[in-house]
Structure 1
Amino acid sequence: MIEVRAAEDHVVDVLLAAGVQSEDWLLPAELHEVHHGESIDHDDVLDFHHLLSTPDWYTTLTTMTDR
């Protein structure tokens, strides 16, 4: 089981001494990117799901995203 929480240094020391494995990680760089346009909502996800069920989904998608 994985549990993620903030902990003070002394709590971390006790957990590590008890044999708990620690893993350090960083937030993905994408979180710091600037995004333009509207956010994706549930309707967008459903529309994309429907698009993927069509035989020409790739052509349609590339046409929509050509700049």
Structure 2
Amino acid sequence: MATFRCRTCHQEDAAVYDASRHACPRCGSREVQFAIGIDEMPDPLIDAILELADGAEPLDRDREED
């Protein structure tokens, strides 16, 4: 399941995510945001995220911003 928020009809709810169709499940608007769980993400996307994370430098939390 994924959650969605539509900027057109202002609805927020849970819905089954369909990667081939990016539209609000209620009104059909393309002005919608989906939040999907890791278990529903396509494998190539997960692989790309992990590849980026492997090459990332650790955060330096001790350094103060100037």
Class of the TM-score when normalised by the shorter of the 2 chains: under 0.3
> TM (normalized to structure 2)?
0.26
Return the structure number with greater strand share. 2
> TM (normalized to structure 1)?
0.26
Return the structure number with greater helix share. 1
Rg comparison, structure with higher value: 1
Structure ranking higher on relative contact order (CA contacts 8 Å, 6+ apart): 2
